């Protein structure tokens, strides 16, 4: 299967600081990447859809000024949590859509666990 990496895998930061999470598709070009948030024992909640070279599309209720998404190349999307607060602590997962093929499957990164103190 396709490989998607995320960095860092975990991060602890102080309240008020900003944190950047990178998502890379390692063996295919992804015109579309997705960012999800997951709380313990819950499902994945789609935050935004990131398209290469254009602005991200945010889901309803997601603050676009707080969760900045940049998809600068066909293999890299970044999520920046600005002025992080304890309630932003969560597991953030990205995925990349592999174009073409029958299934048009999304492949997921390993996730980033964010803890805001």
Residues lying near other proteins in the complex (CB under 8 A): 1, 34, 41-44, 46, 49, 91, 93, 95, 102-111, 113
Please identify, using beta-carbon distances, which residue of 46 and 68 lies nearer to other proteins.
Answer: 46
The kind and range of the H/E element at 108 are strand 106-108
Smaller CB separation from other proteins, 31 or 82: 31
57-70 per-residue burial string, b: 16 or more CB within 10 A, e: under 16: ebeeebeeeebbbe
CB of 31 to other proteins, least distance (A): 14
Nearer to other proteins, 28 or 82 (CB): 28
Phi, psi values for residue 86, rounded to 5°: -50, -30
CB of 24 to other proteins, least distance (A): 15
Q: How far is the CB of 16 from other proteins (least distance, A)?
A: 26
Q: Is 14 helix (H, G, I), strand (E, B) or coil?
A: coil
Q: CB–CB of 84/16 below 8 Å?
A: yes
The nearest distance, CB 95 to other proteins, in angstroms, is 7
């Amino acid at each position: 299967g396709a490989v998607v990496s995320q960095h860092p895998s975990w991060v602890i930061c102080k309240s008020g600081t900003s944190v950047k999470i990178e998502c890379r598709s390692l063996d295919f070009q992804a015109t579309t990447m997705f960012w999800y948030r997951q709380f313990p024992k819950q499902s994945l909640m789609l935050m935004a859809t990131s398209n290469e070279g254009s602005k991200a599309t945010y889901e309803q209720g997601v603050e676009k000024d707080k969760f900045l998404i940049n998809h600068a190349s066909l293999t890299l999307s970044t999520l920046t949590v600005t002025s992080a607060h304890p309630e932003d602590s969560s597991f953030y997962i990205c995925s990349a859509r592999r174009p073409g093929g029958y299934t048009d499957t999304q492949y997921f990164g390993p996730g980033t666990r964010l803890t805001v103190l």
